[in-house]
C-alpha cells in the first residue's frame, strides 16, 4: 500500500512571557425542552377559555412530532407557543372565575330579593 510520512516539529517554549490563556466552549447536545402536554391537558379540561387550552394541547403534540423527527429548533418553537397559550389560558380562566364568583355572590342575591318583592313574597 501507500506509505505515509509524518513530520513532527518541536515548537519549544512560547515566545510571549505572559500567562497562557485558554478558552473552553461547552456544546450542549441534549437540551431538555419541556413539552407542557400535562399543563395543556389540564387547561383543556378546566381552563379552556377561547379554546386556548385546546390550542396549547395541539402545539404540545406538534412539539413531540418535531422532536421525534429531530427538528429541535422547530420543537422549541412549538414548546414556546404552547407555554404562552397555557399562560394565557390560566390567566383568563382565573379572571373569568373570579368575575363569575363576584357576580354570583354580590349581584344574584339582590336580583333574587327584587324578584321576590315584586311577586309579593
**Choice between 49 and 91, residue whose per-residue pLDDT is larger:** 91
CA 49 – CA 63 distance, rounded (Å): 22
Determine the pLDDT at residue 86: 96
Q: Which domain holds residue 61?
A: 37-119
The pLDDT tens digits for 7-46 are: 655 556 556 666 667 777 665 555 678 889 999 999 999 9
Split into its structural domains, the chain has a count of 1
Determine the pLDDT at residue 48: 87
Q: Are 32 and 68 in contact (CB under 8 A)?
A: no
Answer whether residue 88 is part of any domain.
Answer: yes
Answer whether residue 72 is part of any domain.
Answer: yes
- Show the DSSP H helices in 27-105 as ranges: 37-45, 52-69, 72-102
CA 88 – CA 84 distance, rounded (Å): 6
Answer whether residue 94 is part of any domain.
Answer: yes
Answer whether residue 75 is part of any domain.
Answer: yes
CA 89 – CA 13 distance, rounded (Å): 64
The pLDDT tens digits for 35-75 are: 899 999 999 999 888 899 999 999 999 999 999 998 989 99
Amino acid at each position: 500500500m501507500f506509505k505515509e510520512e509524518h513530520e513532527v516539529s518541536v515548537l519549544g517554549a512560547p515566545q510571549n512571557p505572559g500567562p497562557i490563556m485558554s478558552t473552553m466552549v461547552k456544546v450542549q447536545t441534549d437540551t431538555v425542552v419541556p413539552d407542557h402536554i400535562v399543563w395543556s391537558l389540564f387547561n383543556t379540561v378546566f381552563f379552556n377559555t377561547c379554546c386556548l387550552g385546546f390550542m396549547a394541547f395541539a402545539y404540545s403534540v406538534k412539539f413531540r412530532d418535531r422532536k421525534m423527527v429531530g427538528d429541535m429548533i422547530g420543537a422549541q418553537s412549538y414548546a414556546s407557543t404552547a407555554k404562552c397559550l397555557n399562560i394565557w389560558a390560566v390567566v383568563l380562566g382565573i379572571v373569568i372565575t373570579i368575575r363569575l364568583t363576584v357576580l354570583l355572590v354580590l349581584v344574584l342575591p339582590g336580583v333574587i330579593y327584587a324578584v321576590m318583592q315584586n311577586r309579593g313574597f
